[in-house]
Amino acid sequence: MARTAPVDDWASDFDVMDPRYIADPFGIWDDLRATCPIAHTNRRGSNWLPTRYSDITAIAHDVSHFSSLEVAVIPFEGEEPEEPVLPYGLPPISSDPPLHTWSRRLLLPWFSHRRVAGYEEMTRDLCSGLIDGFIDEGKVDAAEGYAQQIPVRVIAHILGVPASLSDTFTGWVRDVLEFADDPERRMAGMEALITYFVEEVARRREQPGEDLLSELLRTEVDGAPLEEGLVLGTAALVLIAGVDTTWSAIGSSLWHLATNPEDSKRLATEPELMPTAIEELLRAYAPVTMARLVTGDVEVAGCPMKGGDRVLMNFPSANRDPEVFEDADKVRLDRAINRHVAFGSGIHRCAGSNLARMELRVALEEWLRRIPEFRLADADSVTWAGGQVRGPRVLPVVFG
């Protein structure tokens, strides 16, 4: 539900939670790019919204003027607890160097090509089991019944937490990311998630395993074990960063294929297109927007940004910039040159991109193998989440 008034002027008073922006932001970005490439609003503090590829990537690389200490697109406006729940935030995503540099290094091996290849078989089994459950009915909510079910289970496996709690994990992550405009719900989701990991950490200290949580507890930096706040923040980030994002990418891709039958036919009959198709779907429907905190007065493309302002890292709009992408508003499954920034740019570039790509590919491969032709059951009933992560949340399709 929108908490602020409807937007009249996107250049000077935008709101990324406006229902029109959530449902269809593409035309808004096109207009802004042509008329006012960095928009501004005073809703929820002073926020800037760049729309051009060049400005967004330049800001992403300028970590001295643009800090990651506040990456939430919607600033938290509730009452802060006296003791911060996570003293180090969610490293590495919400940190600047030097903490960023070494906390990122701890995570990278878990998402290397080799490790990710090891998760492929379980992902394929998972996808095919989900399809077994609904294929005979000739219909499914492809968001809730398929896309949403996949990444959370793979992440649960990596963290060593039970897949049976998937719906609970998903609920917490949605509270934090999708309902960020409701401070109480957001705080309750974060607290529940942290309380869960506090208990899991205590269990792992007694009974260590081979999972990411156990490994973090074994890790020493400069001869000392990691502080518990760091372990908790990192584990929470892996869940928060790995669930809504990938589920949204899978859902948006299925929405595209359901509404563009010539593309699903082509992908089903020419599977060799899959590598370029995955990149193109990530480009066109990039789900993630992040924020940066301006550290001191700085000018970008003539815009006077002040210390304490925030910038929304509009990676999805960069991906639609016609200066960089030919036919930027068209999905071309065989697009050969595709330097999209769906995974960000610079030092914070997504640490889980190998995993995300594998999950998206396997989810589409298994779906198209079994359900090569499908369409929306009712276009009006499709709903989208937006703000930090954009993707379909209700997506009824029919087939067979």
Min dist. Cβ of residue 70 to ligand HEM (A): 11
Q: Does 333 sit near ligand HEM (CB under 6 A)?
A: no
In this structure, what token pair is assigned to residue 141?
Answer: 């909510």
Distances (CA, A) of 90 to 66, 219, 331: 17, 17, 34
Q: Segment near ligand HEM (CB under 6 A), from 73-81, 167-175, 221-229, 235-243?
A: 235-243
- Report the residue number, 278 or 382, with the smaller CB distance to ligand HEM: 278
Which is nearest to 382 in space by CA: 255, 199, 280, 195? 255
Q: Does 150 bind ligand HEM (CB under 6 A)?
A: no
Residue from 242, 316, 386, 387 that binds ligand HEM (CB under 6 A)?
242
Residue among 399, 341, 344 at smallest CA distance from 373: 399
The one among 193, 288, 298, 395 contacting ligand HEM by CB under 6 A = 288
Decide: is 246 part of the binding site for ligand HEM (CB under 6 A): yes
Residues that bind ligand HEM (rule: CB under 6 A) add up to a total of 28
Separation between Cα atoms, residue 345 and residue 333, nearest integer Å: 23
Span 107-136, contacts to ligand HEM by CB under 6 A: 107, 111
Q: Does 351 bind ligand HEM (CB under 6 A)?
A: yes
Range 54-113, binding ligand HEM (CB under 6 A): 68, 71, 92-93, 104, 107, 111
Residue range at the interface with ligand HEM (CB under 6 A); choices 260-268, 318-326, 346-354, 379-387: 346-354
Please say which residue, 242 or 399, places its beta carbon nearer to ligand HEM: 242
> Is residue 180 near ligand HEM by the rule CB under 6 A?
no
Half-sphere exposure of 200 (CA within 13 A, CB side): 24
166 in contact with ligand HEM (CB under 6 A): no
Among 342, 358, 364, 368, binds ligand HEM (CB under 6 A): 342
Toward ligand HEM, which CB reaches closer, 214 or 377?
A: 214
Closest distance of CB 287 from ligand HEM, Å: 5
Per CB under 6 A, the segment of 1-9, 169-177, 205-213, 350-358 that binds ligand HEM is 350-358
What Cα–Cα distance (Å) separates residue 335 from each residue in 30, 61, 218, 275, 355? 21, 26, 44, 10, 22
Q: Which residues bind ligand HEM (CB under 6 A)?
A: 68, 71, 92-93, 104, 107, 111, 237-238, 241-242, 245-246, 249, 287-288, 290, 313, 315, 342-344, 348, 350-352, 355-356
